[in-house]
């Protein structure tokens, strides 16, 4: 009997538990590093997305940072007040508003990237040559479990 046929349905449980544990641990470490700079993980992720992609509509930002619209709206309002992001009309669709990173937001992002560099470096060091494969596997998992018609998040550094 092939090894795959001998596996019990519970074999994947440990992988799922470990994946959750790693996510929880890395998120905690990133949040701690960002908190020391007066930021949050969600703010950092928003600025990183906008710096990488340029202006994005709110629904794209919400999907990327995994926030519901009301919470994201409040966070973006605070980021606008802090001059980290700006709201701009979309030139191709005047009805749509884009969120773009401001000059102050770019400076803050550079500081926040520096604050998270150690955590991200540890992650890459632990995976070594397998870092690219790991990201590919995670993307494959995400694509396989995402509901049809939902945009896939853009890959960013951990």
Q: How do residues 82-135 score in pLDDT, each as one tens digit?
A: 999 999 998 888 788 899 999 999 999 999 999 999 999 999 999 999 999 999
The dotted CATH code for 30-116 is: 1.10.10.10
pLDDT recorded at residue 91: 83
**pTM (2 d.p.):** 0.80
Structure tokens that stand for 64 in this block: 């990327």
- For 34-65, the pLDDT digits (tens) are 999 999 999 999 999 999 998 999 999 999 99
- Strand order in 97-101's β-sheet? 56-57, 97-101, 85-89
Residue (of 46, 21, 27, 62) closest to 105 by Cα position = 46
Total length of the chain: 158
Structure tokens that stand for 37 in this block: 């700079």
Residue 142 pLDDT grade (very low, low, confident, very high; cuts 50, 70, 90): confident
Q: Which of 11-20, 109-118, 135-144 has the lowest mean pLDDT?
A: 11-20
């Amino acid at each position: 009997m092939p090894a795959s046929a001998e596996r019990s349905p519970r074999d994947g449980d440990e992988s799922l538990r470990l994946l959750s544990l790693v996510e929880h641990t890395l998120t905690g470490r990133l949040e701690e590093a960002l908190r020391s700079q007066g930021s949050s993980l969600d703010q950092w992720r928003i600025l990183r997305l906008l710096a990488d992609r340029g202006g994005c509509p709110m629904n794209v930002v919400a999907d990327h940072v995994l926030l519901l619209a009301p919470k994201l709206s409040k966070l973006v309002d605070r980021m606008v007040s802090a001059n980290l992001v700006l709201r701009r009309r979309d030139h191709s669709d005047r009805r749509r508003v884009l969120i773009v990173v401001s000059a102050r937001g770019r400076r803050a992002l550079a500081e926040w990237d520096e604050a998270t560099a150690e955590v991200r470096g540890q992650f890459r060091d632990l995976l070594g040559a397998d870092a690219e494969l790991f990201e590919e596997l995670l993307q494959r998992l995400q694509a396989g479990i995402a509901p049809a018609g939902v945009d896939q998040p853009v890959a960013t550094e951990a």
